[in-house]
Amino acid sequence: MKICIVDDTPINLTLMQALVAKIDGCQPVCFAESPAGLQYCIDEEVDLIIVDYMMPAPDGLEFIAQLRSKDSRTEVPVLMVTADHEKDVRYRALEVGATDFLTKPVDRIEFMSRVRNMLAIRRSHVLLSDRAETLAAEVRKATAEIVAREKEVIYRLSRAAEYRDPETGAHILRMTHYSALIARHLGWSDEALDLILQAAPMHDIGKLGTPDHILLKPAHLTDAEFVIMKRHTVIGAAILKDSTSPMLQLAAQIALGHHEKFDGSGYPQGLAGEAIPQAARIAAVADVFDALTSSRPYKKAWELDRALALLKTGRGSHFDPECVDAFLARLDEALVIRERFLDEEE
C-alpha cells in the first residue's frame, strides 16, 4: 500500500519513512515540501497520508482542508502529526477532516499500531467500494441487456408485421417520425418521445390477423370486407395490451385508436375528442398524411398541397386540431423526414 508522508523536518521524515517501510507491503512516498506533497496526494490515489501540522504553507490543517475539498479524496485516511498539548489544533484538524493523530516525538509502538489500524480501515473501504462498483456495473449491464432485448423483440415483431403488410418499411419509419415530430411540438418529454418512436411502428401490427384476400386486394374493399379490415385495430390492441411496459401500453393505445376520428365517426370504438388517447390522435394525422403522399398499387401519391388541404379540411372533424396545427407548424421538418425515408421502389 502506498503511504504518503509530508513533513518539513528531515529527521522526522526519515524516521517515519523508516518505520513505515518496516510494515509489510507498505511503500512510503516522502515530501519535505508541503505543496508538492499536496499535489501528489491529489493526483495519485494513496492509501494513507501522514502530514505534519506545523509547516510552511500549506500547514497541516490547510493541507487536509484542500485535500478534502476534492470529491475523490474524501475517504483516504489522514493522520496529522502534532505535539500532545496542541488540543486546539487537534480539534480544528478533526473539523477539516483529519482521521486521527500521531504524537510528536514519534513513538514507534503508537505510530505502528495507528498506521496499521488506518490501513485496515482503508483495506475494508477499498474492498467495499470495489464490491459496490462491481455490483453497480453488473446491474447496469443487466439492465442494458434487458432494454436492448425488449427493443429487439419489438423490432422483430414489427418486422413480422411488415411481411404481411403491403405498405413499406419506409412508410412505417415516416409515420413514426411524423408522430414524434407532432408529439415534440405538443411538449412531450424526451423519454416520452423515445417511447412513441418505439411504439408507433406497431400501429398496424393487427394486420397479422387480416386475411390475405382482404389485406392484399388491389382495389377498394366491399363493405363486408371493410368490416373485417377494421378489425386490425382490435387485433393489434389484443396483441399489445396488458403489458407492464409503458412503451407497449402506448403501442396498444396507438394500434387501437389510430383510426378513431375527433368527431366520433371513426373506428373501432367511435370515441370522440379527448376520449381518444393523445398518442392515437397524433398517429392518425401522421398515418393519413403519409398514406396520402405515398403511392399504392391502386393509387398514385397525392401532391403535397392536396394532402395538406385534406388535413386542414379534416381539422376538428377527422383530426385533433392541435395535432394538425402541430404538424403544419413543423411542416419543414416533416418534409425533411419524407426525403430521408424514401420508398425503395421510387
Partner 1 sequence: MAAALFDRAAVLDNLDGDRELLREIASIYVNSYIEDLNRIAAAIAAGDAAKVFALTHTIKGSIGNFGAGEAVEVARTIERHAREGQLGDIEASFQRLQALLDQLAAELRPELG
Cell 415530430, residue located: 181
Distance CA 169, CA 208 (A): 15
Does the footprint of partner 1 cover residue 66 (CB under 8 A)? no
Distance CA 31, CA 7 (A): 7
Q: Site for partner 1 (CB under 8 A): which residue of 1, 42, 106, 234?
A: 106
Q: Binding to partner 1 (CB under 8 A): which residues in 14-33? A: 14-15, 18, 22
Cell readout for 147 is 432494454
**H or E element at residue 156:** helix 108-164
Q: Which is nearer to partner 1, 22 or 149 (CB)?
A: 22
Phi, psi of 82 (to 5 degrees): -140, 165
Cell readout for 219 is 382495389
Q: Which stretch binds partner 1 (CB under 8 A): 10-18, 33-41, 178-186, 295-303?
A: 10-18
Q: Site for partner 1 (CB under 8 A): which residue of 1, 9, 263, 333?
A: 9
Does the footprint of partner 1 cover residue 113 (CB under 8 A)? no
Does the footprint of partner 1 cover residue 92 (CB under 8 A)? no
Whether the link from the prior residue into 56 is cis, omega within 30° of 0, is no
The answer to whether 58 touches 39, Cβ cutoff 8 Å, is no
Q: Site for partner 1 (CB under 8 A): which residue of 2, 10, 151, 194?
A: 10
Q: Which DSSP string do the residues of 196-233 spell out, in sequence order? A: HHHHGGGTTGGGGGS-HHHHT-SSPPPHHHHHHHHTHH
Does the footprint of partner 1 cover residue 241 (CB under 8 A)? no
Q: Which stretch binds partner 1 (CB under 8 A): 13-21, 88-96, 192-200, 244-252?
A: 13-21
* Contact mark string toward partner 1, 273..302, x via CB under 8 A: ------------------------------
Helix (H, G, I), strand (E, B) or coil at 315: strand
Candidates 6, 76, 1, 74; CA nearest to 36 is 6
Q: Binding to partner 1 (CB under 8 A): which residues in 179-218? A: none
Provide, rounded to whole angstroms, the least separation between the CB of residue 100 and partner 1: 19
Q: Which is nearer to partner 1, 11 or 227 (CB)?
A: 11
Residue 316, sorted as left (phi over 0), alpha (psi -120 to 50) or beta, turns out to be: left
Provide, rounded to whole angstroms, the least separation between the CB of residue 26 and partner 1: 15
Provide, rounded to whole angstroms, the least separation between the CB of residue 133 and partner 1: 38
Candidates 201, 158, 160, 170; CA nearest to 290 is 170
Does the footprint of partner 1 cover residue 116 (CB under 8 A)? no
Q: Binding to partner 1 (CB under 8 A): which residues in 38-57? A: 54, 56
* Size of the residue set binding partner 1 (CB under 8 A): 17
Provide, rounded to whole angstroms, the least separation between the CB of residue 56 and partner 1: 8
Does the footprint of partner 1 cover residue 343 (CB under 8 A)? no
Helix (H, G, I), strand (E, B) or coil at 80: strand
Which residues lie closer than 8 Å to 2 by C-beta, 6 or more apart?
Answer: 27, 29, 44, 45, 46, 47, 48
Question: Cα–Cα–Cα angle for 264, 296, 315, nearest 5°?
Answer: 30
Provide, rounded to whole angstroms, the least separation between the CB of residue 2 and partner 1: 21
Q: Which is nearer to partner 1, 82 or 198 (CB)?
A: 82
Provide, rounded to whole angstroms, the least separation between the CB of residue 34 and partner 1: 13
Q: Which is nearer to partner 1, 106 or 310 (CB)?
A: 106
* Contact mark string toward partner 1, 72..91, x via CB under 8 A: -----------x--------
Rg of the chain over all Cα atoms, to the nearest angstrom: 35
Does the footprint of partner 1 cover residue 143 (CB under 8 A)? no
Query: Where along the sequence are the contacts to partner 1 (CB under 8 A)?
Result: 8-12, 14-15, 18, 22, 54, 56, 83, 104-108
